[in-house]
Amino acid sequence: MGTLARIAWRNLLRGWRRSAVVLCSVSVGLFASLTLVAWAHGLLAQIVQTAVATRLSLLAVHAQGYQADPDVGRSLGDGGRALAVLLERFPGAQASPRALGDGLAQSARQSAHVTLVGVIPEAERRVSVVGDSLVAGDFPLPTPSGVSRALPGALLGSELAEQLRVGVGEKIVLHAPGESGLGAFRVSGLFHSASPDFDKSTVFLRLEDAQRLLGVGDRVHEIAVALDDARAQDRLAEFAKEQLPRARPGEALEILTWQEREPRLASLLDLMSSTAWVAYATVFAGMAFGIANALLMSVFERIREFGVLRSLGLQARQLIQLVLFESLILTVGGAALGVGLGVAVVEVLGHFGVSGDAFAGAGTLSVGPRVYPRLESGDWISPFALALVTAAIAAVWPAVKAARLRPAEAVRHI
Amino acid sequence: MGEELVLEARRVTKVYRAAAIETVALADVDLVVERGEFSALSGPSGSGKTTLLNLLGTLDTPTRGRVLVAGRDVTEMSDAQRSDLRLHELGFVFQSYNLVPVLTALENVEFVLLLQRAPRSERRARALRCLEELGLGELVEKRPNEMSGGQQQRVAVARAIASEPQIVLADEPTANLDSKTAEDLLDLMERLNRERGVTFLFSTHDPRVMARARRVIRLVDGRIASDERRSQ
């Protein structure tokens, strides 16, 4: 075994140019696919993170049927307070009740269709990214009592403000369906999140102002929940599904994770892992032909040598082992090089990030300003498994060719 | 001359078929080689020398007839069994030396012992002993491309005898060597035959080899035309 491996190694060194070309093709292929997979992981993570931190949340509690038909009438009583308090008993959980509704924002110059989001600013800061995305002003403060001409505040997405051509301190009018759905507001602040779509269509109001505008009294439509450790999401969902119906037996609740609310986005994550395998398989399939070709050439060049080895008593299966060793050294060596390079480059890119500008305004799948490529453990382990399979497959034809040589003819081959 | 039979060919016929053409390379050849012989197969090109050597060396199988090596019929053996037989009972020396180019002289000799699964220390010692006995002690770490033709052929002889085979089959071993080197090589093989009792069967049309051989079997058109034994 050791001598066969030594012969294989020295044979590869003897034809070092050809070996180097094959080794490089394997490593470049692996490097490229690994980097691509890391980029896709980072991109998708960023999309999910942006979506969860803006319009979605890790977990949302609604009145039954709200997800399918978000009518303002499908709401939760008690301002969602009892449910929010209960949810926050889960370790690391923060809950923010939201009153939601469609509306129209109008300035002196322009109007735009918007989503009205009534929140308790202190609670919302802990759940969404908006509090960290302020570029001017802040969430609206409570309207001072006794000041008859004071207008309630509204926090606008920067793109919406641009569209309406308003700034902080300027007045807008918000319309909502229903009898009480009209009110003047003063822009209290602007935010700029990673999602242009969100920034273009969202107006944050104080919860009581939104409830008044939407005509829903003390009711809310959603309790958005965030977690310190997102990995505990499934346990939180179990906790919520078990505890909340008990706490509010009279209310039919709908408790959904972000994956249940956005199954297409969630399926993208699942697709990612299979896409990685497809990428590797494609690269290795292409490489298998290259390796087989190089090995076959090498076999043809060494027919006499193989004849000598066979005449000395080397078994056909040992000759197959020899060719397999050569294939293994090339493929696994190339894979190690490619993966090593790929991991190093991804590590650097993952640290500094890559501009996500190319994806700005990509509709609902918004990406942050920077994408951070990253690899998961299986991403670099699986290429080695595939490398072994490829080495074996690529070596089959040349190895069988070598093993089938007739020693009497091979030994006199010129 | 000993009486133990090392090789036997019983009515051996070899027919090559290419497309619709059949070529009879050997026809009903009967031959026995006894232990300790120093014999040569001679004859003009195409007479069947190499074909017979291949059949006796189990590198090829006869179309008809039987070949026995050390009393064992190889005709019905599997490829693996024939490989095993070559490994333990037969040694080969080729016209073009045919050393494994990526191995050193020592590794080339050691390789056969490795295939025989000899313990590491034993195979190294045996390989070194063979090389030194053949005057190649200085070349153990050299690769074939660093040696002359004569040196390579001597290493090939060392490789052939290292496994202590029943017989060494040498196909035109002097064909690529100059006169002096060829004579030296023949001296060496004669000495191995005389002192260690190594049996040699050459395929050759080199008169120098035939002059040294104690038995010359002449083949013409795939048949044995004469079988001359000489006393020395």
Return per-residue pLDDT of chain A as tens, 414 residues.
577 888 888 888 888 888 898 889 888 888 888 888 888 888 888 888 888 888 888 999 999 999 999 998 899 988 888 888 989 999 999 999 999 999 999 998 899 999 999 999 999 999 998 988 899 999 998 877 666 668 999 999 999 999 999 999 999 999 998 777 889 999 999 999 888 888 999 999 999 999 999 999 999 999 999 998 888 889 999 999 999 988 888 888 999 999 898 888 878 777 776 777 787 788 778 878 888 888 888 888 888 888 899 999 999 999 998 888 988 888 889 888 998 999 999 999 988 888 766 665 555 456 666 788 888 777 777 777 877 788 788 888 888 888 888 888 888 777
Same domain for A26 and A77: no
Residues of A in contact with B123 (CB under 8 A): none
Distance from CA of A385 to the nearest CA of B (A): 30
Same domain for A219 and A333: no
Interface membership of B84 toward A (CB under 8 Å)? yes
**Amino acid at site A62:** H
Across the range B55-61, mean pLDDT stands at 94
Strands of the sheet with B38-42, listed across from one edge: B90-93, B167-171, B199-203, B38-42, B215-220, B223-229
For residue B98, give the nearest of A6, A308, A315 by CB distance.
A308
Residues of B in contact with A316 (CB under 8 A): 79-80, 83
Q: Can you count the helices (H) and strands (E) in chain B? A: 7, 10
Q: Tell me how far apart the alpha carbons of residues B186 and B205 are, in angstroms, rounded to a whole number.
A: 14
Same domain for A113 and A27: no
End-to-end Cα, chain B, rounded Å = 11
Residues of A in contact with B115 (CB under 8 A): 312-314, 318
For residue A408, give the nearest of B54, B84, B98 by CB distance.
B54
> How many structural domains compose chain A?
2
Token couple for B11: 């009515």
DSSP label at residue A361: T
Q: B102 and A314: CB-CB below 8 Å?
A: no
Residues of B in contact with A16 (CB under 8 A): none
Same domain for A120 and A26: no
Residues of A in contact with B50 (CB under 8 A): 412
Mutate: best of A312, A314, A326, A406, partner B, most B CBs <10 A: A312
3-state secondary structure of B68: strand
Could you say which of A203, A231, A261 is where a domain stops? A261
Domains detected in chain B: 36-59+81-229 (3.40.50.300)
Q: A313 and B80: CB-CB below 8 Å?
A: no
Interface membership of B61 toward A (CB under 8 Å)? no
Could you say which of A261, A293, A322 is where a domain stops? A261
Token couple for A396: 């089959």
Same domain for A32 and A151: no
Q: Tell me how far apart the alpha carbons of residues B134 and B177 are, in angstroms, rounded to a whole number.
A: 17
B114 Ramachandran zone, left/alpha/beta (phi>0; psi -120 to 50): alpha
Q: Residue A255 forms beta bridges with which residues?
A: A61
A148 CB neighbour count, 10 Å cutoff:
6
Q: Tell me how far apart the alpha carbons of residues A79 and A97 are, in angstroms, rounded to a whole number.
A: 7
Same domain for A221 and A124: yes
**Which residues in chain B (22-51) have CB-CB distances under 8 A to chain A?**
50
User: CB–CB of A372/A43 below 8 Å?
Assistant: no
Distance from CA of A384 to the nearest CA of B (A): 28
Q: A311 and B80: CB-CB below 8 Å?
A: no
Q: A313 and B103: CB-CB below 8 Å?
A: no
Same domain for A39 and A65: no
Same domain for A193 and A246: yes
ipTM value: 0.88
Q: Which residue has the tokens 């609206």?
A: A140
- Where does A107-258 show beta strands of DSSP type E? 111-119, 134-137, 153-157, 171-175, 182-191, 202-206, 222-227, 253-257
Tell me what pLDDT residue B61 has.
Answer: 92
Same domain for A111 and A181: yes
CA-based nearest residue in chain B for residue A12: B102
Q: Tell me how far apart the alpha carbons of residues A33 and A43 are, in angstroms, rounded to a whole number.
A: 15
CA B39 to chain centre: 11
Same domain for A246 and A226: yes
Same domain for A280 and A229: no
Q: B115 and A312: CB-CB below 8 Å?
A: yes
User: CB–CB of B69/B166 below 8 Å?
Assistant: yes
Secondary element (H or E) of residue B153? helix B149-162
Same domain for A195 and A65: yes
Find the chain A residues whose C-beta atoms sit closer than 8 A to any C-beta of B: 3, 6-7, 10-11, 13-14, 304-305, 307-318, 406-408, 411-412
Residues of A in contact with B98 (CB under 8 A): 304-305, 307-308, 411
Token couple for A213: 């505008």
For residue B114, give the nearest of A3, A311, A317 by CB distance.
A3
Per residue in A208-261, pLDDT tens?
A: 999 999 999 999 999 999 998 888 889 999 999 999 988 888 888 999 999 898
Buried-exposed string A219-236: b where 16+ CB fall within 10 A, e elsewhere = bbbbbbbbbeeeebbeeb
CA distances, A50 to each of A34, A42, A259, A266, A370 (Å): 24, 12, 14, 13, 11
Q: A316 and B80: CB-CB below 8 Å?
A: yes
Could you say which of A261, A281, A307 is where a domain stops? A261
DSSP label at residue A220: B
Q: A411 and B112: CB-CB below 8 Å?
A: no
For residue B83, give the nearest of A11, A313, A412 by CB distance.
A313
**Amino acid at site B111:** F
A344 HSE (CA, 13 A, CB side): 6
Q: Structural domain of residue A403, as residue ranges?
A: 2-52+265-410
Buried-exposed string A342-378: b where 16+ CB fall within 10 A, e elsewhere = bbeebeebbeeeeebeebeeeeebbbbeebbbbbeee
- A48 phi and psi angles, rounded to 5 deg: -65, -45
Token couple for A62: 């609604």
DSSP A164-181: HT--TT-EEEEE-SSTT-
